[in-house]
Structure 1
């Protein structure tokens, strides 16, 4: 059974900060303050939609634009309710505050530092938890991530230079994409794609010269995602075992084209190489995997590299290639192999292959076996052309 981190489990100290307003100006200010201290805000545009989360929230920031909502009177009283107004001349928030149990009224942007501090206190220990787990916390401008979802590593600084910078966490210690230097393990790569799949829209990946790592503006991380990240670093490093197993299978499958086929070819004898060269790439690949499966073999994956036991596999594969030749080759009077034919290398014996009835030269071979392989390839091509594809196997079996 797959082991997967439960995205619904919350970490200790995690709490919800609600922003309830239909005013985009108020929302923009509050999110800017939250960015500075790394606090995740849960947005609602109506009192009705926020009702289910109201009681358990650590802090509720209610826009003055919703003070006339009739449902406010039926909302549960909370000591952590702040009314936020975008106008100094509007006295209605002050008049309404006591009636709905609001402790404070704040005007943006005048109260930006005070509101930022309230958010810091309400946000719990998110930043401290990420730091103590070993993640790098830095600062970056949102606008630096002009390509959505990506931030160049040189745009992340360890020191804050101005209030416009948002807190950012680099998560390369648990999740990274493919690395040009081959330093990303299957655990990191699986976590990278699994977390993107499980929590889309949360991440702003950090782009280095040789790898792209998982990253995020801290304020974009819901509490349950912070909990998942900390557990990946502190207790169990793998997010999704099924995905990890699938990734290893993908690496093993891809290794044939990447380097295994070249290695195997050089280890084969001359005759087996001739048969390989006469076959199309798809058939050679199929014969290789038939050999691997038939031996009940699975290569080892150490997290970085796929390791094949060539000493066990190559002799069996060579035998499989020769069997393929013997299975398909038919002695046919229409093909004539003429020895001693002088071609472009007069000093070497050359065997010429003719299609006798048409006196058509098919090819040359420096050995009789090479010539037979030429004839076999021609036979196979003719059968494929003259007989429906599904019946070829019956003719050559």
Structure 2
């Protein structure tokens, strides 16, 4: 599996809870509000979070069983949700916000894989306070840390080392660029 974390739900409260968890974990989240046209993303996502509101419809659509499917709900799980989770062979059923700390850990695992891949490719990774960066619109070197000091810090990817070298002539302007985003973490070149 090589895609981002996929969240499929039409429940706005659930989207809010999961986005907050993804931000804390530094995970890349792809949000879809319907099961229509997502079969490819369903198969390639590192982790699929399926809202309880769409669990039974997913079973009826015969969505493929996954080793990394978690049903998430903003309300106490109902017997229908539990039955749908069993039929979809979901790994876990998580009630948010009660299980938010647990979900942050699961999401952080997917983010760690991406950070390791970027580090291996020569990107320099730092961590910064997301609120400070969002307020100023930029990240200064004094605001970067080599290690995460709290779960609310965002991942910062510097293209400096990758953009320098004889094979990348003409791309020196990318040295000062990064992928810093507030909300969802995405890697853009």
**Could you say which TM-score interval applies, normalised by the shorter chain?**
0.7 to 0.9
Partner of 2:23: 35
1:94, distance to aligned residue in structure 2 (A): 2.1
Alignment of 1:251-270 (within 5 A): none
Partner of 1:248: none
Find 1:187's aligned residue among 148, 171, 181: 171
1:138, distance to aligned residue in structure 2 (A): 1.9
- Contact 2:59/2:84 (<8 A) preserved: no
- Contact 2:9/2:53 (<8 A) preserved: yes
RMSD over equivalenced CA pairs, Å = 3.1
1:89, distance to aligned residue in structure 2 (A): 6.1
Structure 1 or 2: more helix by fraction:
1
Any stretches of 5+ residues in structure 2 without a counterpart? Answer: none
- Which structure would you say has the larger RCO, counting Cα contacts within 8 Å and 6 or more residues apart? 2
1:112, distance to aligned residue in structure 2 (A): 2.2
Question: Match of 2:179, SS?
Answer: strand
Partner of 1:213: 176
Partner of 1:67: 55
Partner of 2:123: 135
Work out whether 1:93 is the aligned partner of 2:81.
yes
Any stretches of 5+ residues in structure 1 without a counterpart? Answer: 1-12, 177-184, 193-211, 230-397
Partner of 1:103: 91
- Distance in 2 separating the partners of 1:161 and 1:69: 41
1:116, distance to aligned residue in structure 2 (A): 2.4
| Bigger Rg, structure 1 or 2 | 1
- Distance in 2 separating the partners of 1:90 and 1:148: 44
1:175, distance to aligned residue in structure 2 (A): 4.9
Alignment of 1:94-243 (within 5 A): 94-123=82-111, 125-146=113-134, 150-175=138-163, 186-189=170-173, 192=174, 213-217=176-180, 220-221=185-186, 225=188
TM-score (norm 2): 0.76
- Distance in 2 separating the partners of 1:69 and 1:19: 15
Partner of 1:266: none
Question: Match of 2:145, SS?
Answer: coil
